[in-house]
Amino acid sequence: MKWEDNVRKVVPYVAGEQPNKENMIKLNTNECPYPPAPGVVEAASKMDCDELRLYPNSEVAPLVQALAEYYHVKPSQVFVGVGSDDVLAMAFLTFFNGKEPILFPDVTYSFYDVWADLYRIPYKTCALDENWHINPEDYKQPNGGVIFPNPNAPTGLLENLSVVEEIIQANRDVVVIVDEAYIDFGGESALPLLEKYDNLLIVQTFSKSRAMAGLRIGFCIGNEKLIQYLNDAKFSFNSYTMNLPSQLLGVEAVKDDAYFKDITAKIQKTRERVKKELAELGFTFPDSKANFIFVSHKSVPAKEIYQALREQDIYVRFWDKERINNCLRITIGTDEQMDCLIDFLKKYLQKV
């Protein structure tokens, strides 16, 4: 069919499966195993539905204000989107318009190449080293922009702020996006670098550390000018992106800092304990600072373990992709969930 010549063809991103089985243990999409903050739950139960007649605040002003206060920046430095995927997609559209390829790691969040393809942005990947670390030297070649997660996904490895700064410093003429989806699980944010670098954009999300993946809230913080350009693109696309309930409940989540610190600390504690147990079972992994661990077993192929777990309704993430096809990404769940996982692995690995 001739019309197909003019279709924008893309190979879409594939998210982790979302099965809905009773008693399943879902450790495949890095969701939080704990409920949202009590203030969020209460506000949700008291929501005034009459307001749903009206369009929501297109600037998401109350949430922008709450985030600006929390992170000690100006409201004009904050942009909010429908999940950080929306923020990232908007940032790719707005900032990556050069002729040179944008740069990102070869093993990283697999949405980056999808957006690049969608928007026809040329890109080049830089190989992580044999220990899964980013080599900052790779980011000192001509480029149209840089993006990487810190901690990286799916490796979980955190780069020191000095490495992050080295990359930003070497790329003053393009926008550098640091995707901090997992920064709240023990990492050091690049936020203090904003004072020095007007080309830095930091993206974060409520989906992992704030237990609100279902509400779709993400945001970024950067120089006022970057944020202005993002808003210009957003208001040329769809003004009312974030629904009213998400706006209201997002504010409630930011208010409850004690709960946020409590659940992120709990997940880190579970993570460190699970690391020890997995190591005893013959797994190796980079030293994750995220809410997941990226493991390989010394003798049993990842795909076999993945399938054996799946039969027990324990879901972890496996990619049949070059370089990472002997690895599993296991989300940190509750202590009880991780006990079930470890108990099963102990029995299973004895048999194989």
Where do contacts with ligand PLP occur on this chain (CB under 6 A)?
30, 83-85, 109, 149, 153, 179, 181, 205, 207, 213, 218
Would you say 247 or 297 has its CB closer to ligand PLP?
247
Write down the least CB distance from residue 291 to ligand PLP, Å: 10
DSSP codes of every residue in 96-130: --SSSPEEEESSS-TTHHHHHHHTT--EEEE---T
What whole-number distance in Å separates Cα of residue 267 and Cα of residue 257?
16
What whole-number distance in Å separates Cα of residue 93 and Cα of residue 187?
28
Q: If you compute the radius of gyration of the chain from its CA atoms, what whole number of angstroms results?
A: 21
Write down the least CB distance from residue 7 to ligand PLP, Å: 26
DSSP codes of every residue in 207-224: SSTTS-GGG--EEEEE-H
Which residues are CB-neighbours of 187 under 8 A, at least 6 positions away?
Answer: 150, 151, 158, 180, 289, 290
Write down the least CB distance from residue 74 to ligand PLP, Å: 23
3-state secondary structure of 287: coil
Would you say 288 or 297 has its CB closer to ligand PLP?
288
Would you say 147 or 300 has its CB closer to ligand PLP?
147
User: Can you state the angle between helices 335-351 and 257-280, rounded to 10 degrees?
Assistant: 10
Q: To the nearest 10°, report the CA torsion of 90, 91, 97, 102.
A: -130
Would you say 184 or 345 has its CB closer to ligand PLP?
184
Write down the least CB distance from residue 329 to ligand PLP, Å: 10
What whole-number distance in Å separates Cα of residue 218 and Cα of residue 216?
7
Residue type, 226: L
Write down the least CB distance from residue 87 to ligand PLP, Å: 8
Q: What distance separates the 2 farthest-apart alpha carbons in the chain?
A: 60
Would you say 186 or 218 has its CB closer to ligand PLP?
218
Would you say 112 or 300 has its CB closer to ligand PLP?
112
Tokens of 89: 């997609």
Write down the least CB distance from residue 79 to ligand PLP, Å: 13
Would you say 128 or 340 has its CB closer to ligand PLP?
128
Q: Cis ω on the peptide bond leading into residue 151 (within 30° of 0)?
A: yes
Partnered with residue 330 across adjacent β-strands are 293
Write down the least CB distance from residue 182 to ligand PLP, Å: 7
Write down the least CB distance from residue 283 to ligand PLP, Å: 21
Would you say 179 or 340 has its CB closer to ligand PLP?
179
Name the phi and psi angles at 314, rounded to 5. Answer: -110, 115
What whole-number distance in Å separates Cα of residue 30 and Cα of residue 326?
19
